[in-house]
Amino acid sequence: MNVSGKTVLLTGGTNGIGREIALQMQAKGAQVITTGRNPDRVAATRAAGFEVIEADLSSAQGVDGLIAAWGEMGRELDILINNAGQLVDHDFRNGAVDPDAADDCIYANLNAPLRLIAALTGGLKSRPHAAIVNVTSGLAISPAARTPVYCATKSALRFYTLALREQLKGTNVQVIEALPPVVDTQMNDGNPMKKMSAEECARQIIVAIEKDRDEANIGLSRALRWVESVSPSLVRKITLSF
Ligand SMILES: NC(=O)c1ccc[n+]([C@@H]2O[C@H](COP(=O)([O-])OP(=O)(O)OC[C@H]3O[C@@H](n4cnc5c(N)ncnc54)[C@H](OP(=O)(O)O)[C@@H]3O)[C@@H](O)[C@H]2O)c1
């Protein structure tokens, strides 16, 4: 799909990978409407020329507010990118875990994309060529021991995406999964692993949209997919240590 002239709703475009997707798609001629929570980042994104809907996606109320605000804008949507996501520490080896933080993570990473897809797929089907892009993770393939809640949300979103693609096969709506590797964003502050730049990760996600690919397996995620195909136990051993 040529993204020029397309209208894009991108969640979490105020920071990290999402901000890079917003900038690169705008440079290619797309109209990007994005979302965020942090007021300073929302203001900075608006100052960069983007329309931003403020929304906390960790509750149904927040997602419904976004859907209502989108409806009031009266735009025809071509591409929905479910990018917003959060990582929560959930490691019993370090003491007690916070179930409320886990709930927020589950809502933002899984329920919010599903609710947006439920609300917006009808409109996408009426467009000549449309796409739903769900940003999961290499950890959707196999989990890291220290972030079980995050990994559970991403693998659940991966399975949902695979099934949704089958349902929408033969329609004008391409269903794409993007699996970033470890990327140099706020989410990875303090992570000593080698990181891909957010610019490069965003570039590869946009290439997948432009080339109508089902998946963007990016960097290390591509290698994990391959190792999993030959030895699931080896890929488990690798990612559990992350
Ligand atoms: N970084 C990585 O290594 C990596 C690897 C694999 C997959 N991913 C996935 O890539 C996506 C983007 O991650 P990133 O690294 O770019 O993260 P980031 O730099 O922390 O940015 C996350 C974006 O999502 C928004 N967001 C997060 N939680 C939200 C919530 N509950 N409600 C509303 N907005 C929320 C943030 O807005 P505010 O700043 O306003 O909260 C921000 O705009 C996520 O889905 C993540 O899981 C990242």
Q: Write out pLDDT tens, residues 149-181.
A: 999 999 999 999 999 999 999 999 999 999 999
Clarify whether 160 is annotated catalytic. no
**pLDDT tens across 88-123, in order?**
999 999 999 999 999 999 999 999 999 999 999 999
Strands in 75-234 per DSSP E: 79-82, 130-135, 173-179, 215-217
Q: CB burial class (10 A; 0-12, 13-18, 19+) of residue 199?
A: middle
Q: How far is the CA of 113 from the centre of ligand 1 (A)?
A: 13
Those residues with Cβ within 8 angstroms of residue 138's Cβ, 6 or more apart along the chain or in another chain = 179, 180, 181, 182, 220, 221, 224, 239
Structural domain count, the chain: 1
State which residues form the domain around 78. Answer: 7-240
CATH number at residue 113: 3.40.50.720
185 falls in which pLDDT band (50, 70, 90)? very high
235 lies in some domain: yes
pLDDT value for 194:
95
2 lies in some domain: no
Mean pLDDT of 59-88: 98
pLDDT value for 71:
98
**Ligand 1 atom 25: the closest Cα is on which residue?**
12
146 lies in some domain: yes
Mean pLDDT of 53-61: 98
How high is the mean pLDDT of the chain? Answer: 97
134 lies in some domain: yes
207 lies in some domain: yes
Q: How far is the CA of 88 from the centre of ligand 1 (A)?
A: 11
142-145 contacts, C-beta under 8 A, 24 or more apart: 142/224, 142/228, 142/232, 142/235, 142/236, 142/238, 142/239, 142/240, 143/236, 143/239, 143/240, 144/239, 144/240, 144/241, 144/242, 145/91, 145/240, 145/241, 145/242
Integer Cα distance of 66 and 53 in angstroms: 7
Which candidate, 97, 46, 53, places its Cα nearest to that of 71? Answer: 53
Question: Does the CB atom of residue 219 touch ligand 1 within 6 A?
Answer: no
pLDDT value for 29:
98
Question: Does the CB atom of residue 58 touch ligand 1 within 6 A?
Answer: yes
35 falls in which pLDDT band (50, 70, 90)? very high
32 falls in which pLDDT band (50, 70, 90)? very high
114 lies in some domain: yes
Those residues with Cβ within 8 angstroms of residue 61's Cβ, 6 or more apart along the chain or in another chain = none
1 lies in some domain: no
Which of 83, 157, 195 has the most ligand 1 atoms within 8 A of CB, as the residue to mutate?
83
pLDDT value for 55:
98
pLDDT value for 166:
98
6 falls in which pLDDT band (50, 70, 90)? very high
Integer Cα distance of 146 and 219 in angstroms: 21
pLDDT value for 15:
98
Which of 142, 154, 185, 215 has the most ligand 1 atoms within 8 A of CB, as the residue to mutate?
185
106 lies in some domain: yes
